[in-house]
Amino acid sequence: CTNEDYERLNVDPKNPSSVPGSFLFTNGTKSLFDQMGSTSVNRNVFRLFAQQWTECQYVTETNYDIRNRSIPSFHWNEVYSNVLYDLQQAKISVQEDINLLDGEKANQSSIITIMEVYAWQQLVDTFGDIPYTEALQGPDNTVAAYDDAATIYEDLLTRITEAYNNFDTGSAGLENDFIYDGDITKWQKLAASVKFKLAMRLADVNPSLSQQHANEAIGWGLIGSNSENLTLPYETNPTNAHPLYADLVQSGRNDFVPANTFVDYLNDLEDPRRTVFFDDNKTPYIGGVYGDFNTYTEFTHIGDVYYEPDLPGDLMDYSEISFLLAEAAERGGYNVNATAEEYYNQGITASMEYWGLSSGDISAYLAKPDVNYATASGTWKEKIGKQFWIAMYNRGFEAWNVWRKYDAPALRLPASTGNPVPLRFTYPVREYRLNEANVSAAASAIGGDAQQTPIFWDVN
Amino acid sequence: QEKAVSGTVTDTGGMPLPGANVIIKGTSTGTQTDFDGNFTINVSEGEILQISYIGMKTAEVTVGASSTLSIQLEEDAQNLEEVVVTALGIKREKKSLGYASQEVSGEKLAQVPVANMSDALTGTVAGLNITQSGTMGGSTNIVLRGVSSLVGNNQALIVIDGTPINNETFNQTNIGSGTGAYDYGNGLSDVNPNDIEDVNVLKGAAATALYGSRGMNGVIMITTKRGKSSEKIGVEFNSAITVGNVNKKTLPKYQNEYGGGYDGGSFYSGDIDGDGVVENNIVYTYDDASFGNRFDPNKLVYNWDSQYPQLPGYLQPTPFVAGASTPNDIWGTSTTYVNSVAFNGGSEKGNYRLSYTNFLQEGALRNNNITRNTIDFSADYNLTEKLNVFGNITYTNTRGKGRVLTGYDSRNPMQGFRQWWNMSVDMQKQKEAYELTGQNVTWNLKDWINQEVGYTDNYYFNRDHNYQTDRRNRYFGNFGLNYEINDWMSVLGRFTFDTFNELREERVAMGSSAGQGRSSHGGAGEYYFMTHTVSEYNYDLILNIDKDLNDDLNLNANVGWNLRANSRYGNDARTNGGLKIPGLYSITNTANPLTEEDINDFNIRKKVDGFFAQANLGFRRMLYVGGSIRTDRSSALPSDNNRYWYPSGSLSFVFSELLDSRETINFGKFRFNYARVGNDTDPYQLINTYVLNAKLGNSYNATAPATSNNPNLKSETMQEIEAGLEMNFFNNRLSFDVSVYNRKTFDLITNTDISGSSGFTGLWVNSGDIENKGIETRVTVVPIQTEDFRWEMTANWSKNENKVTKIFGDSEYLEMGSMWNVSVGAKLGESAGTIRGTDFQYINGQRVVGSDGKYLISESSQEVIGDANPDWIGGLNNSFTYKNFNLSFLIDIKHGGDVYSQDMAFGLATGLYPETAGLNELGIPKRDPVADNGGVILKGVKEDGSANDIRADFSTYENPYGYYGAPEAMHVYDASYIKLRNLSLSYRMPKDIFGEDSVINNMTLSFIGRNLWIIHKNLPYSDPEAGMSAGNVQGFQNGAHPTFREIGASVKIEF
C-alpha cells in the first residue's frame, strides 16, 4: 500500500467532510430554538427563573441551584458549539459555494448573521462577559479569553447593521427557507428588530447609543405583525417536535405546573389567556407554590397546546417588539410614532391574537381598569413589565429579561430556600476545569461570578 | 522382546517425583510417574528411557535385563530451563529474558470455572489490576502497570496462539461515565479457560515491543493445549457446576421507619373510592424516595396496591408499614455449568486437538442467561522433515439474554434499589401483582386517578418484557507454515484472523416507563438493534535464527514483517417515538417514520504495516544481550507523518553461573531493559466530518461534531526502563522476582474535553505526557516439604505511581470523564485518576458547618476530593498438597484508591439507608423538627471555630448527608478491600484405583469457591471493585451490582 492508499483508507466513507451552508444553518437555527424552548431541567430553567412554572418533586432548580445539574455548562456548550459554530461554518460554506450567485451569498450571509447576533446577545444576557473575539476557533484556541459584555454589544450592533445593509432584495435567499419562505423583506424586518432589541437593552446604561441604533432600526421597519414573527415550524414527527413535547409528553414525567406567582397575577386580571396557558383541571386556577414541593394533581396543569408536538417555536414576535416600543415611547428620545399606551395595547393584542383569542375577549380585557394603561396602577415599568412578562409566557428567557430590566412584576422568593431571584447564570463549572485563568479573570472583571452580579445593562 | 519394566523416580535426596515423564527415546510412547514416583512401561531391552522432570536434568537409562529400575534425577542448578512463549509466539528460555513476565498454568486457571478468563487471573499476577463490572457476562478491565493512556486503550493485548484478539466491549453511550448502557462484556469472554495450556503475562514495553503499539499496555499471551504424540487418542472430559449467592455485604441496608416522600411527608387527599368523602390517607406513590411519613401499623392507608382496579386489594386500605420484602429479596441463585470434552492425538508427523465446550449460565436475576458453545481445533503436521504446517481455529457461538445494564439508567434495577426507592414497597406484593395481571403494575404510579407509570417499572414486568438479546458468531485462529531452512534458521509465514458478527437487540415494551430506552417514546415502547461485523487480519512473515556461534556464544534473532487490517462495519437503528403493535420488536414497527437521527451507518477501517528485527546474543548461558527495532506505518495518522520507529534493548545476567557452589543460591538473574514503543490512533480522527440530522420541512440539516478531529496528530510514544532480579534459594524452597520500572508516555493521543467556547466540547489531540513508576514483586516460599506434604505460598505485591507531566498547549486540565459535576482527570503533576468536586470547608482541619448546621461547601467545585488509583495491590496464594489432595486459596488485596459513590450521594438524600433514620444523640428521631430536638449535630466546628452545636434539619431530602445538602467529598470512599478470592480443594485419584487395564488415566475432583469472603472493605453496601465497565474512567459507582459468592464442584477425567 502506498501512503496515498492509506490516506484514502482513512476517509470516513459514511459521513461528509463538507456540506452546503444551508444544512448547517438549519441545525444552528433549530438548535437555538430547541435550547430556548426546552424546559428540561438539564438544559433550560428560564421558565422557572421567570416564575411562570414551578417544579413538583425536585425543587433544586426553582430554588436557583443550577450547578447541581450543570445547567450553565449545558447552555453554554449548546449555544457555542451547536448554534454559533454551525452558523459560522454555514457562512464559510456559503462563501465557498460555487453554485451560489453573489446576491444569494450576500443574502444567505446576512440571514446567518442575524441568527448569530441573536445567539450572541442571548449568551451575553445570560452570563455577562463571555469569550467572543477568541471564541469558535476550534483546536486553534481551546482557552479563549473573555470579552467585555458591553463591547460585545457594540460589535453586535455593527454586525447586525452590516447584515441589514448587505441584503440584496433582487436576489434569492435560502432555498427551502423554513422561517420566512424566501421573503427577504421579512428577514430585513427581523434584522431591524434584532437591532432594536439590542439597542433597547442599552437604554439605561448607554442612552445615546441606544437611541442611535433604535432609531435607525425603527427607520428600517420592525416586525409589524404576528406573520413576521421569528418562529420555527415544529413537526408532528417526534424528532422535529417542539422540545416541550419531549419534556412534557415523551418524558412521561409530571415535573412542572404553572407557578402561583404567574397564576395569581392572571387570576387577578381574569386574563382570558388562562384558557390557553393553563389546563382547566382545577377550578379556580391554582398555581403550584413557587419553589416548594408540589403535588401534581393538586394544582392547575399546563395548557394542552404546550403538549402538542407541532407547537411553533418562537424567538421574537410582534408582541415583544410592541412592548419595547412602548418602553421607547415612555423614555423619550426615540423616533416612535405612537404613544406608549398604543404600543402597550398593541403588545397585549398581538399576544392574545397569537394564542387565538377572540377580538371580543381582547377588547374586553383591554378595557379592564387593571389592564387599561391609563387606569392600571404602578409606574410605566410596572405596567409594561407585567403585561410584557405575561406575553412572554412561552418565552421564559425573555420573561426573565423583562423582570431584570423593569424590576417588575414583583416575583416571590422560592418557598424552600428563600434564595433571591438570579440576575445571571454563574459561569459553567466546566470552564473552571478547562479554562480556569480566563474564567477567573472574567469573574473578577464583572464583580464576582455570582448569581446576584447584574449584567452590565441591568443598572436600575 | 517387549517386557514390562517398572521403576521409581526420585531426586538425589530420595524424594519421589510424581508426574515425571518417562518416554521411550525416539518414540512417542511414554507414561508418567504416580504420586509415589512409580511407573510401569512396556519396553524392549536395549531401548532407552528418557526421564524428565521440571527443574531436574533429564536422565537416560538403557533398559537391560532387569525389570526394575531406580532412577535418581539430579537437580538442574540452572533450574529455569523453562521455555516460555514470548512476543509473536517466539519461544525463549525464560532465563534469557531481559524483562518481566509471569506465567500462570492453565490448570490453575481452569480450577475455578469462570465466565471470563480474566476473572481467573485476578490477584495472581503482580502488577495486573483487574476490575469487573460485577454483572452477568459483564466486562472486565485489565490493566498492567497503571494507566498510561488517558483516553486511548489501556487494556492489555490478548494474544491466543499468536492471534491477537479483539477485547473491545463495543458498549454504547457513556457507560464509563455512569450513564447507563448494557454491558456486553469484552471479547476475552469468548476464550474457553479449559482449552488453555498456560498464560504468560508480558508486562513491560521491552517484552512486547514486537507487537508494536498494541502491546504497549502489556500482553497476555495465551497458549492453548495441543495434541500430544501418543499411540492412542487422548480424551479429556471436564465438567463443572457452580452456584452463586449474593454477598449481602454488597447489598444496601434499608431503614424501615419511614415511607415514600421527599419533603417529610404528607398523604395525598382525594375521593379515591368515589363515595363523596375525601380520603386523606392515600400514599403519594409518585415520590421515589423515602423521606415521607413515619410508618404506623395502626394507620390504614391506600398504598399502591389499593390504587389499581385490577388488583384484589383495590380500595382496601392496609396498615402503613415498611415492605416485608425489600429489593434485596429479588436475588436468586446463579448457576454456571461448564462441560467440555477434548480429543487429542498425534504421531511424530504431527498432532491434533479438538475440543467442544458448552457453557451455560443462569444469572441471579429473572430472564438472565448466557449460552456459549465453543469448538476449538488445532493441528500441526510435518509435511516434510523441514516443512511444518499448522492451524488453529476456534468457533464460538454466544447467546445472551437479559444482560444487565450498568450505570444510571432505569433499566438497571440497582439505580432504583440504591438511589430512588420507597420503603413501603413490598417486593413480594409487586411480584404477585405482576403475576396476576401480566401488566406493569408498579408501586411508582403517578397518581391513583389513571395509574400511569412514574419513573420505575414493576421490577418483574421489567425483567420479563424489557430485555435485550444478543447473538455472536466468532471465528479466530491462524494458519501458517514453518520451514526449516537449516538447523539454525527457519522461516514462518502466518495468517491470523479474528472476526465476528453480532446482533444486539433491545426491547422496551409498551406501557413501560418513558425513561426506558434510547429514545423519547413517552411509554410507547422501543426497539433497537445494532449489527456489526468486526474483523482483524494479521499477516506475518518471520525469519528465525537460533545458532550457536561457538561454544560460548548463541545467537537468537528474528526479522519480520507484519500487516494488520482492522475493520468494523454495520449499522444500528431504533424506532421513533414508540411502537405501533405491542410486543412486536421489529424496526418496521415504528410509530413514526425513522429519521436520520434514528439510524446510524458505520464503516471503520485501518491498516498498519511494520518491519521488525530483533537479536539476542547469549554468552555461556549466562549473559544475554538483546535488541530490537521496529517501524510501523499507520493509515490512521497523517499520510506525511505516518511512520514511527522504536527500539528496545535488554540484558539478562544469570550471575548464579559464577557461583562456586549453588547450595544456597540455586539461581540468580539480573535483568535490565529499555524500550520505546510507538502508537497510533483510531481511524478518522484527522478531518472533521459532519453529522447528517433529520431534515426540517424541506430543509436538509447537518451539524459539526461535538468533538473536533485534528489533522496534526502524530504518533504517541511510550518509553520504559525496567530492572529486575530473580533468585532462588534453598533447593528452590524460596524464590523471588522483583521488577522496578519507569514508564513515560509522550504525546498521548487523547480525546480531551475543551472549553465549549471553542465551538467544540472535545478535541483529539496529542495532549500530554504521563509517567508511571512502580515496583512488582513475587515471592514464593515452600515452608514445609515432606514426603507426603507440601505447603507452597506465593505472594505478589505491586505499587504504581502515576503522574501527568505535561498537558498540551495552554490547557491546564486533562479530563478523563465526569459524572454530573464530579470529574476524574488530572492537572499537571497529579495522578491521572484524580477525582474533583466540591469539598468541605475546613478550619484547622475541622469541617465547618454553616448557620443551618450543614457543612459549608467549598467555593470552588474543583477541589481534589480523591484519587482512583490504588496505593498498592497484592495477592497471597497458599497451596497445600497432601498425597493426592490439594488445597489452595487466594487472598487478594487492594489498598487505597477512592471511589465516588453516586449511589450513596442519592440514596442518603432519598432516605433509603439506615443512616437517614433512627435517633439522634438526644434519643429523639433525627427526622423530627429541629424545634423538637430532632435533626443532627454534625461533627465539626462553626464558622467562628468553636465546636459545632447547631442542629441541622434532617426532615427532607435536603438533609446534610445527601447530594443536595453535602459537598461531593462526602460521598468519596476508600475503595480498599481484602478478599478471599478463590479456594479450591482437589483430589487426584491414584492411578491404581482404576487398575492397570482401566481406560481412565487420571481423574481429578475439585471443590471450588470464588469470591467467598470480603474480609475487609470501607465502602458501605457495595463491593468497591464493582465498576461500571471496562474503560478508563474508573473511580465512579452508579447503580453498582452486588457481588456473588460462587461455590461449585468439578470433575476432570483423562482417558
C-alpha cell at B284: 403519594
Mutate to test the interface with A, among B596, B758, B760, B859 (most CBs of A within 10 A): B758
Provide the pLDDT for residue B1046. Answer: 87
- Rounded Cα–Cα distance for residues A321 and A455 (Å): 21
Q: Which of A57, A91, A116, A425 to mutate to test the interface with B (most CBs of B within 10 A)?
A: A57
- Is pLDDT at B133 greater than 90 in this prediction? no
Residue B147's pLDDT is what?
Answer: 59
Give CA–CA dist B424/B440, Å, rounded: 18
How high is the pLDDT of residue A211? 98
Residue B612 has pLDDT above 80, yes or no: yes
Indicate the residue of B520, B694, B757 with minimum beta-carbon distance to A251: B520
A456 domain-assigned: yes
What pLDDT does residue B750 have?
A: 81
Which three three-digit cell numbers place residue A391? 406575553
pLDDT band of residue B179 (cuts 50, 70, 90) is low
Higher-confidence position of A274 and B819: A274
Q: Name beta bridge partners: B224.
A: B196
Instruction: From chain A, pick out residues whose CB is under 8 angstroms from the CB of B691.
Output: 15
Q: Which of A324-338, B578-592, B999-1013 has the lowest mean pLDDT?
A: B999-1013
Is the residue at A241 inside a domain? Answer: no
Nearest CA in chain A to B864: A433
A296/B286 touch (CB, cutoff 8 Å), yes or no: yes
Cβ–Cβ gap A82/B453 under 8 Å: no
Contact B593 A4 (CB under 8 A): no
**Structure-derived torsion over alpha carbons of residues A395, A396, A399, A403, reported in degrees to the nearest 10:** -170
Cβ atoms of B500 and B475 closer than 8 Å: yes
Q: Which residues of A touch B756 (CB under 8 A)?
A: 73, 76-77, 80-81, 428, 430
Question: What does the pLDDT look like over A232-288, one tens digit per residue?
Answer: 999 999 999 999 999 999 988 899 999 999 999 999 999 999 999 999 999 999 999
> What are B369-397's pLDDT values in tens digits?
999 999 999 999 999 989 999 999 999 99
The nearest CA of chain A is from the CA of B634 a distance in Å of 8
Task: Tell me how close the Cα of A271 comes to any Cα of chain B, in angstroms.
Answer: 29
CATH number, position A441: 1.25.40.390
Residues 642-671 of B with CB under 8 A from A: 642
**pLDDT given at position B175:** 41
Chain B residues 582-641 with CB within 8 Å of chain A: 592-593, 595, 597-598, 601-607, 609, 633-636, 639-640
Average pLDDT over residues B695-704: 96
- Helix, strand and coil percent figures for chain B, each rounded to 5: 10, 50, 40
* In chain B, residues 783-842 whose CB comes closer than 8 Å to chain A: 809-813, 815, 820-821, 823, 825, 836
The burial class, CB within 10 Å (0-12 / 13-18 / 19+), for B6 is exposed
Tell me: the pLDDT tens digits for B12-64?
767 777 778 888 877 767 787 877 788 888 888 888 888 887 667 778 888 88
**Ramachandran angles phi, psi of B797, nearest 5°:** -150, 135
Non-local CB neighbours of B379 within 8 Å, separated by 6+ positions: B227, B350, B351, B352, B353, B390, B391
- B 673-692 → A contacts, CB under 8 A: 683-684, 686-692
The pLDDT confidence band at residue A362, using thresholds 50, 70 and 90, is very high
The reply to whether A403 falls in a domain is no
Strand partners, A23: none
In percent, the amount of chain A with pLDDT more than 70 equals 100
Residue B1055 pLDDT exceeds 90 = no
* Residue B715 confidence (pLDDT) above 60: yes
Tell whether B860 lies on the interface with A, counting CB pairs under 8 A.
yes
Nearest beta carbon to residue A139 from set B287, B598, B710: B710
Tell me the C-alpha distance between B372 and B474, whole Å: 11
Residue B153 has a pLDDT of 60
In a domain, A404, yes or no: no
With an 8 Å Cβ cutoff, is B293 touching chain A?
no
Long-range contacts of B375-380 (CB under 8 A, 24+ apart): B376/B192, B376/B195, B376/B224, B377/B352, B377/B353, B378/B161, B378/B224, B378/B225, B378/B226, B378/B227, B378/B352, B378/B353, B378/B477, B379/B227, B379/B350, B379/B351, B379/B352, B379/B353, B380/B226, B380/B350, B380/B351, B380/B352
Q: What is the mean pLDDT of residues A300-305?
A: 97
In order of start, what are the domains of chain B with their CATH numbers? 2-73 (2.60.40.1120), 83-245+336-406+463-833+868-896+978-1054 (2.40.170.20)
Residue of A nearest to B260 (CA): A57
The more confidently predicted of residues B407 and B533 is: B533
Which chain A residues are Cβ-neighbours of B603 within 8 angstroms? 12-14
Q: Is residue A233 part of a domain?
A: no
**What pLDDT shows up at residue B55?**
65
Tell whether A65 is covered by a domain.
Answer: no
pLDDT at residue B76 in the model: 61
The residue segments making up the domain with residue A170 are 70-175+427-460
Asked if residue A350 has pLDDT above 90, the reply is: yes
Cα dist from B831 to B156, B390, B771, B772, whole Å: 20, 46, 9, 9
The shortest CB-CB distance from B756 to any of A81, A89, A297 is to A81
Flag whether A126 is in a domain. yes
CB contact under 8 A, A237 and B595: yes
pLDDT of residue B16: 75
Q: Residue B176 carries which DSSP code?
A: G
Q: Which residue of A has its CA nearest to B455?
A: A253
Q: Grid coordinates in use for B469?
A: 438479546
Q: What is the pLDDT of residue A83?
A: 98
Average of per-residue pLDDT across B183-205: 77
Facing B703 at nearest CB: one of A82, A249, A251: A82
The grid coordinates listed for B614 are: 530483533
Decide if pLDDT at B944 tops 90: yes
Measured between beta carbons, the chain B residues lying within 8 angstroms of A233 are 696-697
**Integer Cα distance of B175 and B1030 in angstroms:** 9
| pLDDT tens digits, B827-869 | 999 998 899 999 999 999 999 999 999 999 998 888 999 998 8
Please check the confidence at residue B206 and state whether its pLDDT lies above 90: no
Higher-confidence residue of B210 and B613: namely: B613
Alpha helices in A283-406 (DSSP H): 318-331, 340-354, 359-367, 380-391, 396-406
Contact criterion met (CB < 8 Å) for A252 and B515:
yes
B514/A253 touch (CB, cutoff 8 Å), yes or no: yes
If phi > 0 it is left, if psi is from -120 to 50 it is alpha, else beta; for residue B882 that is beta
**pLDDT of amino acid B176:** 43
Summarize pLDDT for B291-337 with one digit per residue, the tens: 999 999 999 999 999 999 999 999 999 999 999 999 999 999 999 89
Query: For B411, phi and psi rounded to 5 degrees?
Result: -80, -10
Q: Which of B237-251, B905-919, B1017-1031 has the highest mean pLDDT?
A: B905-919
pLDDT value at position B933?
94
Q: Per the CB < 8 Å rule, is A297 touching B270? A: yes
CB A244 within 8 A of CB A223: no
Q: What is the mean pLDDT of chain B?
A: 87
CB–CB of B595 and A240 under 8 A? Answer: yes
Give a yes or no: residue A370 inside a domain. Answer: no
Give the residue-averaged pLDDT of A373-391.
97
Residue B177: pLDDT band by 50, 70, 90 thresholds? very low
The 10s digit of each residue's pLDDT in B343-356 is: 988 887 888 999 99
- For residue B112, pLDDT beyond 70: no
Mean pLDDT across B1000-1025: 88
Give the one of A82, A84, A143 whose C-beta lies nearest to B755's C-beta.
Answer: A143
What's the CA dihedral at A331, A332, A335, A336 to 10 degrees?
Answer: 60
For range A78-100, the mean pLDDT: 97
- What total of structural domains would you count in chain A? 1
